Amino acid sequence: MKTGTLKQILLITDGCSNQGEDPALVASLVAEQGITVNVIGILEDDHTEQPEGLEEVEEISENGQGVSQIVYQDALAQTVQTVTKQAMTETLQGVVNNELKQILGSEKTMEELPPEQRGEVMEVVDELGETCDLEVLVLVDTSASMTNKLPTVQEALIDLSISMNARIGRSRFAVYQFPGRKKPIQQLVDWTSKLDSITSIFAKISSGGITPTGPALKEAMYQFGKKTLRRRFTRDDYTDIEEA
């Protein structure tokens, strides 16, 4: 069994959106296009509890069929890769569950199988996670409060590329910031397989006060290439991967 390229948007932010469409709504539409939306919320080091603005984080990821986590800066690197991997596993489990329904002809999902069979299915999921191709568009909030966190974000992205490039399957990354100048998002790094060679991604950033998360997510969706949109993981989806 094979799957198409897994597509994810990874949103990194430290606050609440304050302009444009509702990001949770946009996320649900993006997810319908077969793109998972994962969100990482960064806390200020002196925050002992979760500030209100970050409640949105969970809402966006749930509607985006992805994973979210709220962390302090020093855990960012490890979190970025865990979130990405966890979301991959969940998506792949979804794919496998669909297959199971077709094979078993019932509403059976993995979790309802007896443990022995579940183990066998899990081997397939693990295998897919290792071999599938992956595209991650990283969308970084560069509003004023994020400025001091950007070096850490960059380190975490390099780390992500190290983790993902250790897989057998191919991984590609693109990095965008939002808000852009006069546009919802601005490209920082075009699709590439290696982020580790890139230095000072965030060097030329001018941060503003607004956080248009909704519009940014919507724009990000289009960066996956229009031809691949409107397709979920279907059986005929894997034909173009080999030579891609």
Binding footprint of other proteins on the chain (CB under 8 A): 43, 50, 58, 61-62, 67-71, 75, 77-79, 82, 89, 93, 110-111, 114-116, 118-119, 121-123, 125-126, 130, 159, 162-168
Q: Cβ-count burial of 111 within 10 angstroms (0-12 exposed, 13-18 middle, 19+ buried)?
A: exposed
The minimum distance between CB 4 and other proteins, in angstroms, equals 20
Query: Considering the complex, what minimum distance in angstroms separates the CB of residue 150 from other proteins?
Result: 19
Which residue shows structure tokens 């579940």?
A: 118
Residue 112: CB minimum distance to other proteins, A: 9
Residue (of 22, 34, 29, 92) closest to 59 by Cα position: 22
Who's near 125: CB < 8 A, 6+ residues apart? 89, 92, 93, 96, 110
Q: Least distance to other proteins from the beta carbon of 206, Å?
A: 28
- Answer yes or no: are the C-beta atoms of 12 and 140 closer than 8 Å: yes
Closer residue to other proteins (CB): 142 or 213: 213
Query: How many beta carbons lie within 10 A of that of residue 126, not counting itself?
Result: 12
Based on CB atoms, which residue is closest to other proteins, 121 or 205? 121
- The nearer residue to other proteins, 108 or 118, going by C-beta atoms, is 118
Closest CB to other proteins among residues 126, 190: 126
